[in-house]
């Protein structure tokens, strides 16, 4: 039986990461680990936002994630963070914290692609696979937005282990099925994860519950057919703001938990 809960992820940032942005006022204080517990999710992606956290703080955060099943950590953060890859840092950190299972390059194609060749990504992936310690290899994940599907992304996607697909503007969710089909045709054998925004960041307004439900239902169908291997909800730093889409998603996850015992 497919364990749906094991396939659910929460995208996380430092506490207050989007305060005073995207129409939010100062308000969110929830930490990544607290948000994961609140949402009932045991897997997270932890992504540097506006260059936060800084590298010296990584161990502190990793320790707070000890009870989580799997963690994927950014080696390249959001577009407001530096472009420098942090592969060596994460390789060392994962030796101490074995639930770190992968790394992700965020906001890569519109902001960083020109600074890298596909071979550079292949080299990063190889460095993640060639572990000299007794630990597991780290998967290489990448963020891809639906509005980037017509860019020359395929040579880069071919060098990654996992592609996460995101719809930045809520009105584009009307083409979600079509856009996923386009990605599937482009990279039929690749591992894919569906990204679901719980807030309409592209338009700086709350996500309609109907559109949140559309994303989740579509993702669940893809999980059941094996076309994706996970669903990500974004983001931790809005989970304490009592947004309708967040609360609906929490109840949806609870219903899955109940149905699977």
pLDDT of res. 135: 65
Query: In this predicted structure, what is the pLDDT of residue 133?
Result: 60
CA 260 to chain centre: 24
Q: Tell me what percent of the chain is helix, strand and coil, each rounded to the nearest 5.
A: 40, 20, 40
Retrieve residue 131's tokens. Answer: 């572990």
- CATH code: domain of residue 24: 3.20.20.60
pTM: 0.97
pLDDT of residue 26: 81
Residue 131 pLDDT: 61
Query: Structural domain tally of the chain?
Result: 1
Amino acid 260: pLDDT: 84
| Per-residue pLDDT at 82 | 82
- Show the domain range for 114: 5-259
Q: State how far the Cα of 28 lies from the Cα of 8, in Å rounded to an integer.
A: 22
DSSP reduced 3-state for 238: helix
Q: What pLDDT sits at residue 56? A: 95
Which H or E element spans position 35?
helix 32-39
Weakly modelled stretches of the chain, pLDDT under 50: 134
């Amino acid at each position: 039986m497919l364990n749906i809960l094991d396939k659910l992820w929460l995208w996380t940032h430092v506490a207050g990461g989007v305060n005073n942005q995207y129409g939010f006022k100062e308000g969110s204080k929830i930490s990544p680990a607290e948000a994961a517990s609140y949402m009932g999710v045991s897997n997270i992606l932890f992504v540097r936002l506006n260059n936060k956290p800084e590298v010296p703080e990584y161990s502190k955060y990793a320790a707070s994630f000890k009870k989580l099943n799997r963690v994927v950590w950014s080696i390249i953060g959001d577009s407001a963070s530096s472009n420098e890859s942090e592969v060596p840092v994460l390789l060392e950190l994962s030796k101490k914290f074995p639930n770190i299972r992968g790394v992700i390059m965020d906001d890569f194609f519109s902001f960083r692609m020109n600074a890298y060749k596909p071979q550079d990504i292949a080299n990063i992936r190889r460095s993640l696979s060639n572990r000299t310690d007794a630990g597991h290899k780290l998967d290489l994940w990448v963020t891809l937005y639906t509005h980037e599907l017509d860019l020359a992304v395929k040579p880069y996607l071919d060098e990654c282990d996992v592609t996460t697909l995101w719809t930045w503007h809520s009105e584009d969710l009307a083409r979600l099925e079509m856009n996923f089909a386009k990605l599937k045709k482009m990279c039929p054998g690749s591992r894919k994860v569906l990204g679901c925004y719980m807030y309409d960041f592209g338009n700086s307004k709350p996500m309609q519950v109907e559109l949140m439900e559309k994303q989740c239902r579509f993702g669940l169908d893809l999980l059941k057919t094996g076309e994706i291997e996970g669903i990500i909800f974004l983001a931790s730093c809005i989970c304490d703001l009592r947004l309708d889409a967040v609360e609906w998603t929490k109840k949806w996850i609870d219903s899955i938990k109940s149905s699977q015992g």
